[in-house]
A = this chain, B = another copy of it.
Amino acid sequence: MDDLKIRWSRLQKRIQGAGADALVVASNVNLFYVSGRVFMGHVYIPAEGAPRFFVRRPCGLEGEGVFEVRKVEQIPDILRDIGAPLPERVMVEDDDLTHSEWVRLAAVFPGKVVGGGSAALRQCRAAKTPYEVRVMKLTGARQAEVIPHYAAVYEPGMTDQQWSVEMFRVMLKAGGLGHFRIAGQTMEGFMGTILAGDNGGAVSPYDFALGGAGLHPSLPVGQCGAPLREGMSVMVDIPGVFYGYITDCSRIFGVGRLAQKAYDAHQVSVDIRAAIMEAGRPGVRCEDLYQLALNMAGGAGLADCFMGGAQKAKFVGHGTGIVINELPVLGARSKDVLEEGMTIALEPKFVIAGTGAVGVEDTLLVTPNGMENLTPCNPEIITL
Q: B100–A98 contact, CB under 8 A?
A: no
Complex interface: chain B residues within 8 A of A205 (CB):
38-41, 57, 59
Known contacts: A59-B205, A172-B168. The answer to whether A219 contacts B179 by CB under 8 A is yes
Within the complex, which residue of B97, B191, B220 is in contact with A98, where a contact is CB–CB below 8 Å?
Answer: B97
Asked if A347 CB lies within 8 Å of chain B CBs, one says no
Within the complex, which residue of B100, B177, B215 is in contact with A218, where a contact is CB–CB below 8 Å?
Answer: B177
Q: B57–A311 contact, CB under 8 A?
A: yes
Known contacts: A37-B218, A37-B220, A244-B216. The answer to whether A27 contacts B189 by CB under 8 A is no
CA distance A177 to B190 in the complex (A): 8
CB distance from A301 to the nearest CB of B (A): 27
Complex interface: chain B residues within 8 A of A37 (CB):
217-218, 220
Known contacts: A98-B95, A98-B185. The answer to whether A36 contacts B190 by CB under 8 A is no
Which chain B residue shows the least CB distance to A29?
A: B185
Complex interface: chain B residues within 8 A of A100 (CB):
94-95, 118
Most chain B CB within 10 A, of A41, A95, A190, is at A190
| Secondary structure dominating the interface of A | loop
Chain multiplicity (copies): 2
Complex interface: chain B residues within 8 A of A215 (CB):
177
Complex interface: chain B residues within 8 A of A243 (CB):
216, 218
Complex interface: chain B residues within 8 A of A283 (CB):
none
Asked if A257 CB lies within 8 Å of chain B CBs, one says no
Complex interface: chain B residues within 8 A of A173 (CB):
162, 165
Known contacts: A28-B185, A177-B219, A186-B28. The answer to whether A97 contacts B96 by CB under 8 A is no
**Complex interface bits, A16-50 against B, C-beta within 8 A gives 1, otherwise 0:** 00000000000110001000111111000000000
Complex interface: chain B residues within 8 A of A276 (CB):
none
Which chain A residues numbered 170 to 227 have a C-beta less than 8 Å away from chain B? Answer: 172-173, 177-179, 181, 184-186, 188-191, 203-206, 215-220
Most chain B CB within 10 A, of A189, A219, A245, is at A219
CA distance A367 to B206 in the complex (A): 38
Asked if A99 CB lies within 8 Å of chain B CBs, one says yes
Asked if A67 CB lies within 8 Å of chain B CBs, one says no
Complex interface: chain B residues within 8 A of A63 (CB):
none
Which chain B residue shows the least CB distance to A205?
A: B40
Most chain B CB within 10 A, of A96, A185, A218, A219, is at A218
The 8 tightest CB contacts between A and B, nearest first, are A218-B244, A179-B190, A99-B102, A37-B217, A40-B205, A178-B190, A165-B172, A94-B100
29 A–B contact pairs at CB < 8 A?
A28-B188, A37-B218, A38-B205, A38-B217, A38-B219, A40-B186, A57-B204, A57-B205, A58-B310, A94-B100, A95-B100, A96-B98, A97-B99, A98-B98, A98-B185, A99-B99, A99-B102, A165-B169, A165-B173, A166-B169, A169-B169, A177-B219, A179-B189, A217-B244, A218-B243, A218-B244, A218-B245, A218-B322, A219-B244
A58-B310, A168-B172 are known; give 18 further A-B pairs, CB within 8 A.
Answer: A40-B205, A57-B205, A59-B220, A60-B217, A94-B103, A97-B185, A98-B98, A165-B172, A165-B173, A168-B178, A177-B218, A177-B219, A179-B219, A181-B188, A185-B185, A217-B244, A218-B243, A218-B245
